Every structure is written in C-alpha cells, then in structure tokens.
Amino acid sequence: MDFLKRRAAHSSSSLAKGIGAGLGFGAAIGLIIGNVALGIAIGVALGAAIGARRGSHSSDEQGS
C-alpha cells in the first residue's frame, strides 16, 4: 500500500512540474505564433502529457 501512495505522490509531482514547464514553454510558443492563450494551452497540454509519462515511468523503474 505504501508503494501505491508513493507512486501516486511521485506521479502528481511530475505532472505538476510538467504543467509548470508547459506554462513557460507555451508562453514562448504563444509569443512566436502571435496567440499567447493558444500557445499556453498547447504548452500545458504537452507539459501535462510529458509529466504524467515521466511520473509513471520513473515509479515503475524504482519498484519495491
């Protein structure tokens, strides 16, 4: 049960980091394409996907 709690905490942490990175990345994309709101939406979506993926992979590798 502890493993599941740690895995959930790690996954959400990676997801939050991904979303945070996505905000900055998306703002930069938005400035380039001229639509900041669209850029942030794209960046957050990509950041969340990457963060969720990292969280699930790194938890699986740790095992226990």
Contacts of residue 46, Cβ cutoff 8 Å, sequence gap at least 6: 22, 25, 26
- 11 and 52 Cβ atoms separated by less than 8 Å: yes
Residues 47/20, Cβ–Cβ less than 8 Å: yes
Ordered by start, the domain boundaries in the chain are 11-59
pLDDT tens column, 13-53: 777 777 787 888 888 888 888 888 888 888 888 888 877 77
- Give the pLDDT confidence score for residue 41 in this predicted structure: 87
Give me the pLDDT at residue 5, please: 58
The HSE-up count of residue 54 (CA atoms within 13 Å, CB side) is 15
Residue 62 has pLDDT above 80, yes or no: no
Q: Answer left, alpha or beta for residue 34, where phi above 0 means left and psi between -120 and 50 means alpha.
A: left
Q: What CA–CA distance (Å, rounded) separates 63 from 31? A: 42
Q: Does residue 7 or residue 41 have the better pLDDT?
A: 41
pTM greater than 0.75 (yes/no)? no
